[in-house]
Amino acid sequence: MTVQDLAAAPISFRPGELEVNADGTGHLLGSKCRSCGAHFYPVREACAGCLSDDLETVRFSPRGTVYTYTVVRQSTPAFEVPYVLGYVDLPEGVRVLGQIGGCEPGDIRIGLPVVLSVEAFGSDEEGNQLMGYRFRPDEVGGGES
């Protein structure tokens, strides 16, 4: 990585949903209801549980487990196939859809611990590199159960 690369501030592909830090790490953002404690992804205006509008924006845990997944073999022109897509349950009680990388599809299973990884994810209309997220098998945190 060159000095120039380090100087360029990474740009989130969806700033309202993925916070990307200068060092290339990041968090998914959502809402927590201050009234009943429910969490939502993405950010909401009011709580679907108790209808309170007293919500705060929070950073979600990067670690979760795979609820279900698929290998997508036909998609839109915006995505090169094949890729793995999975729903991941986070400890706050939200389920987030994301691509799963860093392993062979055959190594993925329901219940697999995964961790969020901020990665290059397409570019904007001006050609700037955008940062998105994928989940990768979590070899440090939860490990294999």
Partner 1 sequence: MTDVFVLGVGMTQFGKHPDRTAADLGAEALQVAVRDAGIDPRLIEAAYCGHVFQGMVTGQRILAQVGLAGIPLSNVENACSSGATAVREASLAIRAGEHDVVVAVGTEHLTNRFRGALTPDKADPEAAVGATMPAVYAMRARRYMEEFSMTREQLALIAVKNKRNAAQNPLAHFKKEITVEDVLTSRPIADPLNLLDCSPVTDGAAAAILVSGSVARRLGDGRAIRLAASALRSGSVDVEPTSMTFEPLTRDTAVDAYERAGVGPDEVDFAEVHDCFSIAEVLRVEGLGLFPQGEYPAAVERGEADLGGKLPINPSGGLLGKGHPLGGTGVAQVVELVRQLRGEAGDRQIEGPRVGLAHCRGGKAVGIEGAACTVQVLVK
Which residues lie near partner 1 (CB under 8 A)? 13-14, 17, 38, 40-42, 44, 48-49, 67-76, 78-79, 83, 85-87, 89, 93-95, 97-99, 105, 110, 132-133
Cβ-based nearer residue to partner 1, 93 or 141 = 93
Residue 137 sits at φ, ψ, to 5 deg, of: -55, 135
Assess contact for 49 and 61: CB atoms under 8 A.
Answer: no
Compute φ and ψ for 62, nearest 5 degrees.
-80, -10
How many CB atoms sit inside 10 A of residue 140's CB? 8
What minimum distance in Å lies between the beta carbon of 107 and partner 1? 14
Other CB atoms within 10 Å distance of the CB of residue 67: 14
Residue 29 CB, shortest distance to partner 1, in Å, is 11
* Minimum CB distance to partner 1, residue 7 (Å): 27
Q: Which is nearer to partner 1, 71 or 103 (CB)?
A: 71
Smaller CB separation from partner 1, 3 or 78: 78
Minimum distance from CB of 77 to partner 1 (Å)?
Answer: 9
> CA-to-CA distance for 30 and 44, rounded, in angstroms?
7
Comparing CB distances to partner 1, the nearer of 25 and 75 is: 75
* Residue in 113, 120, 94 with CA at minimum distance from that of residue 20: 120
Q: By C-beta, is 4 or 74 nearer to partner 1?
A: 74
d(C-alpha 6, C-alpha 28), whole Å: 22
Task: Tell me the closest approach of the beta carbon of residue 47 to partner 1, in angstroms.
Answer: 8
